[in-house]
């Protein structure tokens, strides 16, 4: 059986986080801004994601295969290729860097564009090897908003992927043919 979280979402998020070298965390959690594990300081930039639609069925009911198990039972295996939509947003704050000011707007936009590049090339190759196809990458757009007295700089986009989903159902074995005769005219 396919697990969307384990087999689809987690490889996407981990690959993207490794490529960008910033955390990409699940949205709407209790800690909205990640901290550095060693120093405890808030990280100046990070990404977060949300699963918009984990399972959008395609046409038809899939391919159904009948298999015999080692103990003589029967399994029905259904294979389909649904799509899923994930949304990624990258955040950064204005701060002073070693070489001058770093603008959160510029950094958040740069992370979003680099993430799109990952989905277009490096990530597309990595994910394809894991049975995940990148179908559509939406345009990056500003998701910035005013929070009390400061701007929260955010840029993001959505991605649609296709993956293989497998359902397995065990059924009973048929030991012998039974013929029932009905009385007739």
Query: Which residues span the domain enclosing 143?
Result: 4-171
- Report the chain's terminal Cα–Cα distance, integer Å: 50
- 129 is written with which tokens? 């090897």
182: confidence class by pLDDT, cuts 50, 70, 90: confident
pLDDT, position 124: 97
pLDDT, position 37: 67
User: Does residue 47 lie within any of the structural domains?
Assistant: yes
User: Does residue 182 lie within any of the structural domains?
Assistant: no
User: Is 103 in a helix, a strand, or coil?
Assistant: coil
CA-CA distance, 27 to 110, in Å (whole number)?
20
Residues 6 or more apart whose CB falls under 8 angstroms from that of 164 comprise 2, 79, 80, 81, 131
Each residue of 115-153: b (16+ CB within 10 Å) or e?
A: bbebbeeebbebbeeeebebeebeebeebbeeeeeeebb
Place of tokens 């918009």: 52
- CATH code for the domain in which residue 132 is found: 3.30.2000
CA-CA distance, 123 to 81, in Å (whole number)?
19
pLDDT, position 30: 59
Summarised one tens digit per residue, pLDDT across range 141-159 is 998 877 666 667 899 999 9
Distances from the Cα of 58 to the Cα of 3, 7, 82, 119, 163, angstroms: 18, 19, 5, 22, 11
Average pLDDT over residues 104-122: 96
Which of residues 150 and 42 earns the better pLDDT score?
A: 42
pLDDT, position 151: 67
164: confidence class by pLDDT, cuts 50, 70, 90: very high
User: Does residue 19 lie within any of the structural domains?
Assistant: yes
User: Does residue 120 lie within any of the structural domains?
Assistant: yes
Average pLDDT over residues 35-57: 84
| Nearest Cα to Cα of residue 168 among 22, 83, 95, 64 | 64
User: Does residue 46 lie within any of the structural domains?
Assistant: yes
| Nearest Cα to Cα of residue 78 among 89, 65, 90 | 65
pTM of the model: 0.82
User: Is 162 in a helix, a strand, or coil?
Assistant: strand
Contact call for residues 49 and 73 (beta carbons, < 8 A): no
User: Does residue 179 lie within any of the structural domains?
Assistant: no
Count of domains observed in the chain? 1
pLDDT, position 150: 64
pLDDT, position 32: 57
- In this predicted structure, the answer to whether residue 123 has a pLDDT above a threshold of 90 is yes
User: Does residue 130 lie within any of the structural domains?
Assistant: yes
């Amino acid at each position: 059986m396919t697990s969307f979280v384990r087999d689809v979402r987690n490889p996407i998020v981990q690959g993207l986080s490794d490529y960008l070298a910033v955390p990409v965390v699940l949205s709407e959690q209790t800690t909205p801004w990640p901290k550095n594990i060693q120093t405890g300081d808030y990280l100046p930039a990070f990404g977060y994601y949300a699963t918009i639609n984990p399972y959008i069925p395609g046409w038809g009911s899939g391919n159904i295969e009948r298999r015999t198990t080692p103990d003589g039972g029967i399994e029905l295996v259904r294979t389909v290729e649904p799509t899923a939509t994930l949304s990624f947003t990258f955040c950064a704050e204005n701060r002073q860097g070693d070489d001058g000011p770093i603008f959160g707007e510029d950094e958040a936009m740069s992370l979003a564009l680099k993430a799109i590049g990952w989905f277009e090339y490096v990530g597309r190759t990595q994910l394809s090897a894991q049975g995940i196809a990148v179908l559509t990458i939406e345009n990056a757009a500003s998701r910035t908003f005013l929070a009390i007295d400061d701007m929260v700089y955010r840029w993001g986009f959505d991605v649609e992927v296709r993956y293989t989903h497998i359902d397995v159902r065990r059924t009973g074995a048929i030991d012998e043919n039974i013929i029932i005769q009905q009385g007739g005219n």
